[in-house]
Every structure is written in structure tokens, then in C-alpha cells.
Chains A and B, each alone.
Chain A
């Protein structure tokens, strides 16, 4: 939930707030530059989606049987996500968020594309139009997440180079982000597993471990901040976590009441994204006052 989400929705907000929280530095990038970064990174992610999203279609066109093409398409995209996640893990500070964003983007595009194409939803007996709507929403969220992370990476490359990153904060935050990406990958794999099978249980255990890493990363990152940013960070996490839990409880009640399709993994991913969205909105609401303060500060310094 790190944060960061529609991030400025996720992008701008995370770039400004996250960067300041990490390095204690002011925001010096102009509005035009920020828009340029947002548009540019968005174009990159969109181009990636166009290039890699239809991989299944390309395989089918190459004569690969439909079922096999679908499986290889999934494998290809999962591999792509893994590669980007690994690159993010080994990359220097200026590229780690960019690769993480690309990984998240490919994942969001893949799941969203599959949903939009009815590969999951129709098999679960969902209405085609409803399935496509969910898929489109997931694609949009995937793009927003990607733009946010990429934007953040570019922003940090520009802002933190001068003073150096706060490694005490960045490393656990990076671990948390990578664990989150891994958790999403595990959830994706779970959609292919049989409920109750040993593989599904192993995937659940792995997911729980990654979730623990996420929590650890958030806690360590918060400890590395100064007291005001830690307070804001903690409030945001508490609010986001509450929204997340409420979302999960709602999903569970919906399942038990028979109001939601019996599609555990797919439903979990959907609610994960929805909880992510809710968390981000909540975080923005919690942090909005500090955003206003920052703008006031910038104006004050500009006057000076």
C-alpha cells in the first residue's frame, strides 16, 4: 500500500511527499517539468502495454494452439514482471522505482487485459460486460500505479541526487515495494492453481511471508523518518490499513452471502486493487493539509 497511488493521484503526490519525507528536501521541480515527466512516463508504460500486452495474440498468430498460447502469454508476462522486479532490486536509486513501476504496470495490464478479454470472468460465469468493465478498471489502475512509480523514480533521480538518498529509509521501503510486487505475482499465480491443493497452500504461505516483509519495510521506513513525517506516515498507513481490512472483510462477507463470485484469487486481486485505491484516496486525504503547507512554503520561498 505504500503508497503511493493514484499517487497523486499516486505519481505527483508520492513524488512530492515521499521524496520530502525520505530526504527532508524541498520540492524544486517546476510544474511544467512534472507534467512532462508524467506524460512521458505514461507514454512509456502505454507503449509497453501495446508491445507486450497482446503477446498471446501474437503467439496465436504464429500458429501456437490457443490454450498453449494463452499459457505462454501468461508465463511471458509473469517473467517480464519478474525481470523488471529484479532489475528494480539491483538498480541504483534512480532506476529502482522506474523498474518497479514497469513491473507493476505489466502486471496490471496483463490482469486487466485478461479480465477485459473475459479469460477469467467468463470462465467464472460472470457477465461479459461486467467482466470487461472490471478489466478496464484494472488496466487503468495498473497504468496509474506504473506512472506513479516511474514518475517517482524520475523525480527522485532529479531531487535526491544532490544530497544522496536516505538509505536507512530507502532500503526497507524498497524491500516493501518489491515484496508487494511479489505478492501480486503470487496472487496472479494463485488464479491458475486449484483451491486446497498443496501448491495453493504453498502460494498462500509465500504470500503471507511477502506480506510480513511489506509490514516490516513500512515499520523500518517509518523509524528512519523524523518525527513529523513519521506521524504523517503512520497516520496514513493506519488509515490505509483500515480501508484494506474493511475491503477484505467486505469481500469475505460478500463471498459468504453469495453476492460475489466464488473466485477467490481473482476476487482477492480485484479487492486488493480496490483496497489500494481506497487506501490511496485515504492517504491523500490525510496528507492533503501537508501538501497545502508545502505549496505555501514554496510560494514563501519564491517570494524570498
Chain B
């Protein structure tokens, strides 16, 4: 699953640590999400969407 987390984070000039603290997860998790190595749970996906003020579909893109 692709996502725009890295771009959205860069637009706000946030570090991975900043984003991790805002979401209540580890920086390791942020890296794994940005690298596409880990797909978030629905609650975390909604939390990310709320934080960036966008819908889940605008941030995450399914790759069939």
C-alpha cells in the first residue's frame, strides 16, 4: 500500500519523531509506514487522516 505520509510530513517540516509523538506511536513505526513496510490499523489510519485534515483515501492508496 502506497501513502503520502512522507510528503505530508515534509510539507509541515515535521521530523519522524514529531509525527510519532503526535500519533502516539514509535518513530520506528513511522518509518515502516513511510517505507510501505507496515500497513496501519484502521484506528491509526483515521488518526493520521485527522491529523493531516485529509481523508484516508487521500493519504493511502491501495495497490492491487
Residues of A within 8 A of B (CB): 20-21, 23-26, 225-229, 289-290, 293-294, 296-297
Q: Mark B30-45, 1 if CB is under 8 A from A, else 0.
A: 0110010110110010
- Give chain A residues whose Cβ lies under 8 Å from the Cβ of B27: 24-26
Residues of B within 8 A of A (CB): 20, 24-29, 31-32, 35, 37-38, 40-41, 44
- List 17 additional A-B contacts (Cβ < 8 Å) besides A225-B26, A227-B40, A229-B26: A20-B26, A21-B28, A24-B20, A24-B26, A25-B26, A26-B27, A226-B25, A227-B41, A227-B44, A228-B26, A228-B28, A228-B32, A229-B28, A294-B28, A296-B35, A297-B28, A297-B31
How many Å lie between the Cα of A27 and that of B20 in the bound state?
16
- Give chain A residues whose Cβ lies under 8 Å from the Cβ of B29: 24, 226-229
How many Å lie between the Cα of A71 and that of B20 in the bound state?
55
- Give chain B residues whose Cβ lies under 8 Å from the Cβ of A23: 26
* Closest B residue to A225 using CB positions: B26
Asked if residues B40 and A293 are in contact (CB atoms below 8 Å), the reply is no
- Give chain B residues whose Cβ lies under 8 Å from the Cβ of A290: 28, 32, 37
Asked if residues A228 and B25 are in contact (CB atoms below 8 Å), the reply is yes
Asked if residues A293 and B31 are in contact (CB atoms below 8 Å), the reply is yes
- Nearest chain A CB to B18 CB, angstrom units: 13
How many Å lie between the Cα of A241 and that of B40 in the bound state?
26
- Give chain A residues whose Cβ lies under 8 Å from the Cβ of B35: 293, 296-297
How many Å lie between the Cα of A33 and that of B4 in the bound state?
36
Q: Which of A21, A227, A296 has the most CB of B within 10 A?
A: A227
